[in-house]
Amino acid sequence: MFNSGVAMMMGPTEWILIVLVVLLFFGAKKLPELARSLGKSLNEFKRGKEESAAEIKKLQNEPNKSESEDKK
């Protein structure tokens, strides 16, 4: 649907327009709160991503229990 390079194709005028629309829509008092909650959400997402990657790596490094039972 969207090209991944869309943000690269936007010029400074488009970015200023977007910021102004966001300012008008949310108001100046809500923007810090919005940015803070966005930052917290991104940190939580990164933490969950790292935890799941560590869990997958741990499971891949564990010997398969069915193989060890077959050897007995």
What confidence tens digit (pLDDT) does each residue in 2-12 have? 555 666 688 88
Q: Which pLDDT value is given to residue 72?
A: 54
Which amino acid is it at 41?
S
How many independent structural domains does the chain possess?
1
Query: Which structural domain range is residue 47 located in?
Result: 10-71
- Residue 3 covered by a domain: no
**1: in domain:** no
Q: Which residues contact 9 (CB under 8 A, 6 or more apart)?
A: 3
pTM of the model: 0.51
Residue 48 included in any domain? yes
Question: What's the pLDDT tens digit per position in 28-72?
Answer: 888 888 889 989 999 999 999 999 999 999 999 887 665 555 555
Q: Look at residue 5 and tell me if it is in a domain.
A: no
Question: Is residue 52 assigned to a domain?
Answer: yes
Is there a domain that residue 16 lies in?
yes
Burial code (b: 16+ CB inside 10 Å, e: under 16) for 26-59 equals eeeeeeeeeeeeeeeeeeeeeeeeeeeeeeeeee
Is 29 part of a structural domain of the chain?
A: yes
